[in-house]
Amino acid sequence: MKASYDYIIIGSGFGGSVSALRLAQKGYSVLVIEKGKWFNPEDFPKTNWNLKKWLWEPRARLFGFFKMTYLNHVTILSGVGVGGGSLTYANTLPVPKKEFFNSGSWASLYDWEEALKPHYQEAYRMLGAEVNPYLGPADEAIKDIAKDLGREQNFSPTKVAVHFGDPGKDVGDPYFNGQGPDRKGCTHCGACMTGCRFNAKNTLDKNYLYFAQKLGVEILAEREVYDVVPLDRGTGSTGYEVSFKCSTRRGKKESLIAGGVIFAGGVLGTVPLLLKLKAKGSLPNLSDMVGRNIRTNNESLLVVTSTERNEKDYTKGVAIGSILDVDENSHLEPVKYGQGSSFFRFLSMPFVHHKWLVFRLLGVVGIALTKPVRLFKTIFNPRYSESTVIMLFMQTLDSTLQLKRGSITQLKTAPESGSRPSGLIPEASNLAKALGNKIKAIPYANIADVLLGTPTTAHVLGGAVMGKNETEGVIDKENRVFGYENIMICDGAMISANPGVNPSLSITAISELAMSRIPDKESVLD
């Protein structure tokens, strides 16, 4: 490493990877600092029972790439590692509907839908997006639901960041005129979210980060930033001292100098760090809006495990191979894990939709009394993952939380606006029942969701949203942090409205737009 860089980027997910490549192309020296580890295809676990390779929980000496965070109003699923959430996400790349661009704190700042159109297309190109050509049994089950609802025309295969081609066959780079890394055709094993072991998934280390490194970008893995201090102790006009430590073992603390800093560690990386830096006085000018306008995409995750005796294998296909627009505000996607990945069975319990906990628990007892055989078969199914469809239900309807530093726990949440996020969404419950009736299954949910009525989300957003000024947001319409020079935020924390769909493509496109506004280094020097 050098002693100083033009930019230090904290995090290597969708926003951080975009920033690294585009800044390097503009002539800047760039260092990316990532808390997680490097992962090659052979490093990924075969199933999610291999907790050491799959789960990120440093306190238990687990250094995988999948993280579960339990908060008082929501359970959050996220990714850790070089490539961020791309390592464990389900590859889906939908463009949100019009409501996303015209709502939230950013709505009046710009014509976002028009401005982002070319950047969505560039994100598709860079991420190697293709329409899923194969519908597996889980997708066909949702297609049947669509027919029953009279919305078959609203069912479609997803656009995903996967190379299909000939299954299992090696091929030279199919995306960048042979300048990128080789790929292999998707085998439709459904194990996208436990890490693609077959080199078919277009994770960020195969596109944005790959080309960024070719241009001289350095990536420092297994390091966690704990302090960012302006050299002038003011607005940072002369740069910043960035301090970090090893995240996987004991090691000395280090510091480097950067002309600018880009926070790109995702909501659970960026927002807690900003709260800490504001509280300790490192960045006291940060807006009081830090931690506010946290959104969960109004999600519900329900697990439906079939007890039918047939040869259907619901793991076949990509992790999310199709999407159904249930109505103008709601979307349903069937999610799958690969064969043998049944770890979640011990984190879930039968789901009964009711406002009060006592009646939810009585409902579980009722299931045990009235359907004991089906319940037993569900819990002890030897083909659990092959028999399971995870229903991901998302809505554009808006509600927000505030993320705070806790006195007992590291983080806590508080309701902010709209209805409190809930795992008890009637539309999702009805769809789970409908699917359960079709495949002879009992709907399950995360234990915390059943006991607390909270949702589980893989798409937590906000906490450093855009606004007209520091009283309405943390960053301006160009992603620049109010109160400081040359600090930007490019990750899910910047998302300022509820997309109602998987947000990875939007994070990529907004980051592309933000980077396009930064001048070349030569013109700055001139």
pLDDT digits (tens, 9 = 90+) for 275-313: 999 999 999 999 999 999 999 888 889 999 988 877 789
Predicted confidence (pLDDT) per residue in 50-88, tens digit: 999 999 999 999 999 999 999 988 999 999 999 999 999
Number of domains observed in the structure of the chain: 2
Same domain flag for 65 and 207: yes
Predicted confidence (pLDDT) per residue in 207-252, tens digit: 999 999 999 999 999 999 999 999 999 999 999 999 999 999 988 8
Phi, psi of 417 (to 5 degrees): -140, 155
Local structure of 298: helix, strand or coil: coil
The H or E element spanning position 504 is: helix 504-516
d(CA 153, CA 149): 10
Q: For residue 161, give both structure tokens.
A: 């960041």
Decide if 14 is inside a domain: yes
Average pLDDT on 4-25 reads 98
Is residue 75 within 8 A of residue 69, CB to CB? The reply is: yes
Predicted confidence (pLDDT) per residue in 102-121, tens digit: 999 999 999 999 999 999 99
Q: For residue 40, give both structure tokens.
A: 């090659």
Decide if 434 is inside a domain: yes
Beta bridge partners of 10: 33, 263
pLDDT of 397 above 80:
no
Same domain flag for 440 and 335: yes
Average pLDDT on 402-415 reads 86
Same domain flag for 267 and 304: no
Same domain flag for 469 and 491: yes
pLDDT of 415 above 90:
no
Decide if 76 is inside a domain: yes
Smallest CA-to-CA distance from 63 within 31, 34, 95 is with: 34
Q: How confident is the model at residue 526 (pLDDT cuts 50, 70, 90)?
A: low
Decide if 303 is inside a domain: yes
Determine the distance from the C-alpha atom of residue 444 to the mean position of all C-alpha atoms in its chain, rounded to a whole number.
22
Q: State the sign of the Cα–Cα–Cα–Cα dihedral 315, 316, 321, 325.
A: negative
Is residue 54 within 8 A of residue 347, CB to CB? The reply is: no
Average pLDDT on 334-340 reads 94
Mean pLDDT in the chain? 93
Of 73, 119, 353, 459, which is the active-site residue? 459
d(CA 312, CA 453): 32
Decide if 172 is inside a domain: no
Same domain flag for 267 and 348: no
Same domain flag for 221 and 357: no
First vs last C-alpha separation in the chain = 27
Q: Which residue has the higher pLDDT, 170 or 307?
A: 170
Decide if 280 is inside a domain: yes
Same domain flag for 347 and 423: yes
Residue 513 has a pLDDT of: 98
Same domain flag for 504 and 470: yes
Same domain flag for 305 and 273: no
- Domain extent, residue 108, equals 1-37+49-128+202-295+460-521
d(CA 506, CA 119): 9
Decide if 18 is inside a domain: yes
Helix/strand/coil (H/E/C) assignment for every residue in 46-115: CCCCCHHHHEEEHHHCEECCEEEEECCCCEEEEECCCCHHHHCCCCECCCCCHHHHCCCCCHHHCCHHHH
Local structure of 461: helix, strand or coil: strand
Same domain flag for 98 and 216: yes
Same domain flag for 265 and 323: no
> Between vectors from CA 326 to CA 440 and to CA 298, what angle results, nearest 5°?
95
Task: Report CA-CA distances (Å) from 446 to 56, 343, 365, 390, 487.
Answer: 18, 12, 17, 11, 38
Average pLDDT on 166-189 reads 95
Residue 308 has a pLDDT of: 82
What's at 45, amino acid-wise?
Answer: P
pLDDT of 9 above 70:
yes
Q: Is 354 a catalytic residue?
A: no
Those residues whose C-beta lies under 8 Å from the C-beta of residue 358, and which sit 6 or more positions away, are: none
Decide if 390 is inside a domain: yes
DSSP 8-class letter at 185: B
Same domain flag for 279 and 305: no
Residue 12, domain CATH: 3.50.50.60
